Amino acid sequence: MATVIEVGLSETQRQIVDLTREFARTRIEPQAAEWDRTRHFARDVIDELGRLGFLGMTVPEEYGGMGLDTITYLLALEELAAADAGVAVTVGVHSAIPATMLLRHGTAAQKERWLRPMASGERLCGFALSEPDAGSDAAALRTRAVRDGDQWVLSGTKAWATNGGTADLMVVIARSERGICAFIVPTDAPGYRPGKPEDKMGLRASNTVAITFEEVRLAAQHLLGEEAMGFGYAMEALDVGRLGVATQAVGIARRALEHSVAYCGERKQFDRPIREFQAVQFKLADMATRVEAARALAHAAAARKDRGEDITQHASMAKLFASETAMWVTTQAVQLFGGYGYMRDFPVEKLFRDAKVTEIYEGTSEIQRLIIARELYPRAE
């Protein structure tokens, strides 16, 4: 079927795609519907992915990672997302945001202490930026970081933190008297209090919680990089995170297309498979075209990243286009399945629910448009 990227892959990419697809087929897909129904976070499966190296795909080999380029990472993430987007986001947040921040701004000691076990899969990491009153306006965050001798004391509340109740470490963005900072917080630190897992519309196999920080004390070396530089670090890492969300959206959309192609070939109405009707063909053609375009945009932005170029605008373009594609394609898929598409027994209903959040988290579609538009003007204006 021409819905899966199959041509132009290097030998390494081919192997990674095959390995991920096989893992997804045997370890994720058979359980995805049950995890969705019961909101089960499959730590055993995440740990297995870690042992296979999937939690350190883009981390350089010197820190125990696979040292893969960004497109290869996205190819693997697409396979995970096509099987279950909740698993993909668990891996994607860990891989893109905290790992990027540590790699770019961590000291040598911080990389040894935290990046290495993250890359080997021994430590799962999450990210806590948003707060109940600081979503799109991320810089309005109020979680406080107060210096007390040679320690930092964190107090406040975070919202919708991915992996917050299941991770071993969190990168937490908080405000000191000098500005916004990033901290590496072990989740067993006294005063770290995750709420109960949120009851979400989709991505139900991923863990999302509010977190209360009740005077969490951290040694000075838990400050990531420099004081007051944390907002820029977070924004820079979100550029990479947004490529992951774009790819997650591609995986969801691709799987909805694959189910639709199969179903429309089998489903008969008026004595013929519905794929023979032009109205159905046109829908499938538009779905396939948009999936290809979304993937191409994400891979083009990934290639820019690997050339060392700024990707802020292109990551936002990829995320915007892919997430709206996922929502559109899954809506068409539900329509093609008709009454069956509205039933939980059929797979496209879950894909439709999983798609929605890609238009919301790591910056809403509105925020992506704002970023794209402002990058069209010189910084001085």
Please, what sign has the CA dihedral across residues 289, 74, 197, 364?
negative
Identified binder of ligand CAA from the candidate list 60, 67, 232, 273, rule CB under 6 A: 232
User: Does residue 351 interact with ligand CAA by CB under 6 A?
Assistant: no
Distances (CA, A) of 64 to 59, 104, 119, 302: 7, 16, 6, 22
Q: What are phi and psi of 134, to 5 degrees?
A: -140, 85
The DSSP output letter for 312 is H
**How many CA atoms lie less than 13 Å away from 113 in the CB half-sphere?**
12
Report how far residue 20's alpha carbon sits from residue 4's, in angstroms, rounded to the nearest whole number: 13
Residue 17 or 184: which CB sits closer to ligand CAA? 184
Binder among 31, 312, 335, 365 for ligand CAA (CB under 6 A): 312
Task: Report the nearest approach of ligand CAA to the CB of residue 371 (Å).
Answer: 5
Stretch that binds ligand CAA, among 28-36, 62-70, 76-84, 233-241 (CB under 6 A): 233-241
Please identify which residue in 129, 209, 261, 317 interacts with ligand CAA, judged by CB under 6 A.
129
**Span near ligand CAA by CB under 6 A; candidates 17-25, 117-125, 134-142, 261-269:** 134-142
Q: Which of 156, 202, 341, 363 binds ligand CAA (CB under 6 A)?
A: 363
CB of residue 320 to ligand CAA, shortest distance in Å: 12
β-bridge partners, 324: none
Check if 62 is active-site.
Answer: no
| Alpha-carbon gap, residue 10 to 61, rounded angstroms | 19
Give the residue from 162, 160, 205 showing the smallest Cα distance to 45: 205
CB of 175 closer than 8 Å to CB of 152: no
- Calpha distance 26→38 (Å, rounded): 20
Q: Tell me how far, at minimum, the Cβ of 185 lies from ligand CAA, in Å.
A: 14
CB of 360 to ligand CAA, least distance (A): 8
DSSP string, 222-254: GEESSTT-HHHHHHHHHHHHHHHHHHHHHHHHH
Among 41, 192, 231, 263, binds ligand CAA (CB under 6 A): 231
**Which range of residues in 31-39, 123-131, 220-228, 260-268 is near ligand CAA by CB under 6 A?**
123-131
Q: Is 362 in the site for ligand CAA (CB under 6 A)?
A: yes
SS in 3 state form for 136-189? Answer: CCHHHCCCEEEEECCEEEEEEEEEEEECCCCCCEEEEEEEECCEEEEEEEECCC
Specify the 3-state DSSP secondary structure of 344. coil
Among 32, 46, 93, 171, binds ligand CAA (CB under 6 A): 93
Among 130, 260, 325, 358, binds ligand CAA (CB under 6 A): 130
Which range touches ligand CAA (CB under 6 A), out of 59-67, 135-143, 247-255, 269-277? 135-143
* Residue 96 interacts with ligand CAA (CB under 6 A): yes or no: no
Catalytic residue among 362, 366, 375, 381: 362
CA 185, 44, 302, 141: dihedral to nearest 10 degrees?
-30
41 forms part of the interface with ligand CAA (CB under 6 A) = no
Contact 193, 143 (CB under 8 A): no
Q: Which is nearer to ligand CAA, 224 or 238 (CB)?
A: 238
Distance in angstroms (rounded) separating the CA atoms of residues 160 and 254: 26
Of 280 and 311, the one with the shorter C-beta distance to ligand CAA is 311
Residues 246-305 that bind ligand CAA (CB under 6 A): none
Figure out which of the listed residues 36, 236, 324, 359 binds ligand CAA, where binding follows CB under 6 A: 236
Is 162 an interacting residue with respect to ligand CAA (CB under 6 A)? yes
Query: Which residues fall within 8 angstroms of residue 142, CB to CB, at 6 or more apart?
Result: 131, 133, 134, 156, 175
Looking at the Cβ atoms of 239 and 258, the one nearer to ligand CAA is: 239
Which positions lie near ligand CAA, rule CB under 6 A?
93, 127, 129-130, 136-139, 162, 231-232, 235-236, 238-239, 312, 361-363, 367, 371
Question: Would you name the residues annotated as active-site residues?
Answer: 362
